[in-house]
Amino acid sequence: MSPIIRECKKRRLDYFILHTGQHYSYEMDRLFFEELELPQAEHNLEVGSGSHGRQTGKIMSGVEKILEKERPDVFLVQGDTNTVLGGALAASKMRISVGHVEAGLRSFDRTMPEEINRVVVDHISDYLFAPTKTAKENLIREGILDKKISLTGNTIVDSIRQNLKLSKRKVNPLKDLGLKEKDYFLATVHRAENVDNRVRLNEILKGFRLISEEFSLPVVFPVHPRTRNRIREFGLELGGVSNINPMGFLEFLQLEAGARLVLTDSGGVQEETCILGIPCVTLRDNTERPETLEVGSNILAGADSEVIHEKTRFMMNVDSVWTNPFGDGIAGKRIITILSRTGNSH
């Protein structure tokens, strides 16, 4: 959302940031605002972690109170989290226009909570900002009116371009961690289907050890709090992996840009590596970012250690010459311009 926030600020629009506090560690919420030099959120619900129902309910209740007070013309949500679902439901029921940034993404796997969130939010939104042609086609196929959909590109391209410059001015994680460019793997694991399943999580960690041994490169693994808790609960081994605490986005962005290859179950990281020209192995059985598979920046490996090993070996030999499918880096500007034309950005 940072490119949209910066564009609102640049145009001196009347806007506010509502932060739900869905993430429950300092590194994963407030630090983003400070590092990205964004204005602090005027409203922070501090909902914390919890079951899907409880967390979404708390978000809806909190958002409703803020919207009763602020009465905005349009309420923008981005992505596929419970924050997006709870916020969009609350605004929609109050007859406040909802704009969904990154609309139309589909994994076609309804067992994923994020897929439910994406589908519901798209169908109750008034403005659907599709990042790619594939995303727009998904929306039209589901019967959403073409006039509601705008093909904008993805704000992640804007974000990477803006924030990589900012990052290099402020931090140097490779130096801090004693790493050399293209001389390490980077890994992230946080999705429930992986970390809440002992067999899958164990296989993923085993896969990390296999590739580290074969290529004699460290696997740098910033461990999400939820993942660390599950590793401890399941009694799993982190041996052979350089596990570190979660880091801010600016540091992580530089680690991505400097990695030889990235292993992840994150949708955003699949996009970021594609834009940065870094090969990616996705630790899932499907993806809502099929464009990354089509251009050859990414490959699906699931959660079998041997398959992770095999797919990593394949991607190590891929030339990073694909075309970025996510747009031209001015999606934030385009989104605000579209809202301005409809009279919904004052």
Catalytic residues: 190
Q: For residues 98 and 126, is the Cβ–Cβ distance under 8 A? A: yes
**Whole-angstrom distance, CA of residue 139 vs CA of residue 99:** 14
Q: Give me the DSSP letters along 128-187.
A: EEESSHHHHHHHHHTT--GGGEEE---HHHHHHHHHHHHHHHH--HHHHHT--TTSSEEE
Neighbours of 213 (CB within 10 A): 11
Q: How far is CA 259 from CA 105, 217, 262, 306, in A?
A: 26, 11, 7, 22
**Whole-angstrom distance, CA of residue 303 vs CA of residue 282:** 9
**Whole-angstrom distance, CA of residue 41 vs CA of residue 62:** 14
**Whole-angstrom distance, CA of residue 227 vs CA of residue 204:** 12
**Whole-angstrom distance, CA of residue 100 vs CA of residue 168:** 31
For residue 294, the one-letter residue type is E
Is residue 96 classed as helix, strand or coil in its secondary structure? coil
Q: For residues 78 and 102, is the Cβ–Cβ distance under 8 A? A: yes
Neighbours of 206 (CB within 10 A): 18
Is residue 319 classed as helix, strand or coil in its secondary structure? coil
Q: For residues 285 and 270, is the Cβ–Cβ distance under 8 A? A: no
Is residue 83 classed as helix, strand or coil in its secondary structure? helix
